[in-house]
Amino acid sequence: MFSSLYFPLVSTLACESAPPGHLAMLRDGRIAETVSYTNRCAEQCEDDEAFGCMQLQADLQTMLGIDVDAEDSYREAQKMIRQSRRDVRAASCRNTGWQAFFRHRLGTAMACFMSIVDDTRLEARQAMEGRFGALCVLLELGQLHEAGDLLDELEAIVDTCAQPGEAPLQDAAVWRELVATLRYDLATQQELRTAAQLADHVYWQSGLTARLNTRPRTDSRNDHASQTAQLAARVGSPLLRARIDYLDGLRRLAGGQREAADALIAHLNWAIANSLYAYQYAVRLEIALAGLAGGATQLAETMLAPLAADRRVAHGHCQLEYLYCLAKTRAAQGRDQESVQLYSRYALAAMQCLREASAALAPFAHRANRVTEQLDDVGARLPAKYRRAYRYLMENLERSDLSVREVAAEIGVTERALQSAFKNSLGSTPTEIIRQKRMQRIRAELQRESVHGEPSVLCAASRWGVQNRSTLVNGYRRQFNEAPSDTLKR
C-alpha cells in the first residue's frame, strides 16, 4: 500500500482549516512530528478550526492503524460540520472511504470515492481528493492504466483552477508536485512489474500486457516517459523527493546495480522510524521485487523475512505479492518443491483477488451510466448499531406503509435517535433516504427497454411504494433534474 505515503499530504491539501505549519511539516517528511503536533492541535484548537484539526487527526490515526480512535475522531469531526447537508454527505463518504481502504475493504472504498467523483457540485479540492482515493484503490487492484486515467483527471482540475476567472486553488504548486510524483511512481511500478525476470507474476502481467499490446510502441511513448522523468526531477518537496529518489533506486536495483540497496534500506528505516506500517510493508515488497528482477535474491529474502509472522500480510494483495516473491526466492535457491507449493498458493490468492477486484471495480467501470445505488458505502457510513436500520429500510423499500417509527422500533431506538444518527452520518433523514432510494429504483426500471408509456411509469412507481403521481414527479425531478417521461424518451 505505497499510496499511504501520499495520503496525509493529500488530506492536508484538501482541508480548508489545517493547523498552521501542518503542511510544511508533512512536505519535509517529518511524519512523527506531524502526528504529535496534530494531536496537540486537536486538543487545543478553537471552534473555527476544530473540524479540520479533528479530521486530520483521524486521518493520521487511520494511516497508523489506530482504527478505533480514528472512527471516534471521524464521528466527532462530522458533528462539527455547520455547512450544508451536501458537505456532511461528502465528508461521510470521504471518511468512510479512507477507513475502508486501510482495512482492505476495497469495494466499499471505491463506492465511497466514486460517490464523491460523481458529485459535480463539490469544490475542486474535494473532487481531487475523491479521484486520488479512487486512484489508490485502483493501484491496490493492479489497475495501473486506469489509475493513470484518474490522475489525468486530477491534473485537469488543477489546470482548470489555474485559468483566469476561476477560483484560485490553494497550494496549487504542491498539487502539481504531487501529480508529477504520482505519475513517476506509476511509470516505475509498471516498469518493475513488466521486467522479464518477473514474467510469471501473472496477476500483474495479465492486466499490464493486455493494455500494452493495444498501444503501438511509438516514439511518442518514449517522449512521454522522458517528460515524466523531467517533471519528477523538478519536484522539491522533501517528502516527495525522497519517494522519487527511492523509485530511482528501485530502477537501478532491478537493472542489476546492487549498490542501490543501501539507499533503499535507508528509506525503509525512515518509514519504520516514522511508524508508517502500511508503507513499510509496501517498501519491503517493492525492494524484494526489484531484487528478484536484478538477481539480488538474498536481499529479497532479507526484505521478506519480517513479514512471515505479520498478520497483515494475510490480506489480499499483500499476501499475493508476498507469496510470489517467496516462491521466486525459493526457486532461485534450488528449493523447487517448496517453490511450487508457494506458487500454487500465489495462484489461488491471485484468483481470489481477481474476484474481489471485479466487484470493487464495478462503480468505476460503469461510472458513465451508473444508476444503481451504492448500498455498501451508505450502510458503511452509519454507526454499527444503525446499519441494521438501513438494511431493514432497504429490505422493505417497496412497502408504501414503511415508516420511520417502524424502522426505529426494529432496532430498539427512538425516532429522534434514528433521525439524529442518519443526519450526522449521511446528511439526510431516514425519510429522505427512503425517497432517494425509491427514485433510484424507479429510474433503473424506466431505463429498461421494455418499459413504455405513462401507465408503465405509474406501475414502476407503485412497485417501489410510490402511489401518488405528484409525489413521483416532484421527487423524481428534484433528484434527477428531469421528469420520468424525459428518462423514457432517451
Give the start-to-end residue ranges of the domains of the chain. 188-357, 382-489
Length of the chain: 490
Burial of 74 (0-12, 13-18, 19+ CB in 10 A): buried
CA torsion angle for 293, 299, 305, 307 (degrees, to 10)? Answer: -50
Is-contact 457 485, C-beta < 8 A? Answer: yes
Written as one letter, the residue type at 321 is E
Pick from 383, 388, 373, 356: nearest CA to 112: 373
Residue 454 neighbours by CB distance under 10 Å: 11
User: Strand, helix or coil at 331?
Assistant: helix
Q: What angle do CA 274, 280, 281 make, to 5 degrees?
A: 150
Written as one letter, the residue type at 254 is A
Residue 69 neighbours by CB distance under 10 Å: 13
| The predicted structure's pLDDT at residue 385 | 74
Burial of 171 (0-12, 13-18, 19+ CB in 10 A): middle
C-alpha cell at 258: 546492487
Is-contact 245 234, C-beta < 8 A? Answer: no
Is-contact 128 179, C-beta < 8 A? Answer: no
DSSP, res 171:
T
Residue 354 neighbours by CB distance under 10 Å: 14
C-alpha cell at 72: 471516534
Q: What angle do CA 458, 462, 467 make, to 5 degrees?
A: 85
Contacts of 120 (CB under 8 A, 6+ apart): none
Tell me the pTM: 0.73
DSSP, res 66:
-
| The predicted structure's pLDDT at residue 176 | 93
* Helix, strand, coil distribution of the chain in percent, nearest 5: 75, 0, 25
Question: Within the chain, which residues score under 70 in pLDDT?
Answer: 1, 46-49, 82-84, 163-167, 206-224, 311-317, 359, 362-377, 448-455, 490
Residue 256 neighbours by CB distance under 10 Å: 11
Is-contact 256 295, C-beta < 8 A? Answer: yes
Q: How many helices (H) and strands (E) does the chain have?
A: 27, 0
User: Strand, helix or coil at 111?
Assistant: helix
Is-contact 57 72, C-beta < 8 A? Answer: no
Pick from 464, 460, 457, 465: nearest CA to 483: 457
C-alpha cell at 315: 490480506
CATH number of 382-489: 1.10.10.60
Over residues 432-485, the pLDDT tens digits come to 999 888 888 888 888 764 545 556 788 778 888 887 888 888 888 888 888 887
Containing 52, the helix (H) or strand (E) segment is helix 47-63
Q: How far apart are CA 65 and CA 59, in angstroms?
A: 10
Burial of 105 (0-12, 13-18, 19+ CB in 10 A): buried
Is-contact 426 96, C-beta < 8 A? Answer: no
| The predicted structure's pLDDT at residue 129 | 94
Is-contact 258 296, C-beta < 8 A? Answer: yes
Is-contact 74 95, C-beta < 8 A? Answer: yes
Question: For the residues of 381-413, what is the DSSP string, one character each?
Answer: TS-HHHHHHHHHHHHTTT-TT--HHHHHHHHT-
